[in-house]
Amino acid sequence: MSSPSKIASSEEMSSTASELLMSGRRHLNSGNFQQAASLLSQACGLYSKLHGETDPVCGGAYLDYGIALLELAKLENEVLSYSLEGLELQASSSPSQDEMVESPEKVPEDEKPDVVKIVGEAIEENFVKFEKIAKLHCLYDGEESSEDEEEDEVAEQSPSKAAVSSPSKEMETAEDVSNLEVAWEMLEMARIVFIKQAAASQGAEKVVAESKVCSALLALGEVSHEGGEFKQAEEDVSSCLAKRKELLPADSRSIAETLFVLAMIQAALGKDSEAEASLVKAIAVLKDRAGNIGKMEVSGFMAQELEDLDIIVAEIEEKIAQLKGEVVTEVEGQESKMSSSPSKRKMSSSPSKLQDSSKAPRLDLQAAVVGGSSGPGAL
């Protein structure tokens, strides 16, 4: 029989894990991915310690933690891309009779100082973003990382400091392990947990678990896309798309979202015609949704969603024009978040409001019953 102290300790750990999870999700939804990853890492550690690493309770935390790490990896790649773009622009504008050297190994010794200077200047121009990345190296170092006052109070309430700062053996990774690698590990664990949960469930609970499997698959596809594993990314996202078509209404924004992500991967593979076809299908889904909403009694939320859908469709049409090599302009009055990244082949992974449920809630019945993950990974 468990002693009262052990029961109290377990209850306290469970409460702390829940607080860390909720706080981490708030940071994830607000775009503070570094803080979100730190808090969600601690939550995962406590949940796995309390319930075991493959318990269904851990699945949502794994998914959110993986998504937070994925967003951090995207930020890292974005900063690197902008830095390289700055290097190219400054080098091309500087007078030089020598040809551009493609391989760093071929750079003459006397030119290396100049190259280093150019790279430094390029990074300085993007210092705001670079400064965020510099802080990421403290994520897995308990001595160097610092938390906000709110999260400090939560951590101090933990019954075991070691349990919070050292989530699990899988999370005690070497310093050179990237956020993208850890993101893949956590998302794969989430997928396995949700598959087991779906197999042991029936009815609405089974639908919820299968929907979460789709969320994990989509995120895994984005991890592979970000890491340059485009074939694997296409396979995962295609599986997600097929499953979502089975689970969700034909006009689901989640289906449109998946089609868009698939299109970006197809574009990265050089399959421009297939990418264009996927984007056209995404537009058809969104227009079908707008038509169905128009048949209902319009409320404030629905009016906002109709406005959002118009913006999303315009941005996707802009992407189609980019694939065709046409000159496009931003949607008037809107800051486009779908514009091409500095990489020539790789476009952004999601339109600006395709996943935005804060302003206009989705009307999918399955999405309405999905619980556990209120962050970007939620359907």
CB 183 within 8 Å of CB 69: yes
Q: Tell me, what's the pLDDT at 341?
A: 33
Torsion angle in degrees (nearest 10) through CA of 176, 179, 185, 191: 180
Nearest-angstrom CA–CA distance, 195 and 328: 43
Residue type, 146: S
Beta strands (DSSP E) in 73-146 are none
pLDDT tens-digit profile of 82-118?
Answer: 666 555 555 555 554 444 445 555 656 666 566 666 6
Nearest-angstrom CA–CA distance, 106 and 118: 17
Nearest-angstrom CA–CA distance, 260 and 224: 16
Nearest-angstrom CA–CA distance, 25 and 38: 11
Torsion angle in degrees (nearest 10) through CA of 64, 67, 181, 74: -160
Torsion angle in degrees (nearest 10) through CA of 170, 171, 173, 178: 110
pLDDT tens-digit profile of 176-205?
Answer: 578 999 999 999 999 999 999 999 999 999
What are the residue ranges in the chain where pLDDT is below 70? 1-8, 81-176, 326-379
Q: What is the pTM of this model?
A: 0.66
Q: Tell me, what's the pLDDT at 288?
A: 96
Q: What are phi and psi of 143, to 5 degrees?
A: -80, -30
Nearest-angstrom CA–CA distance, 217 and 197: 15
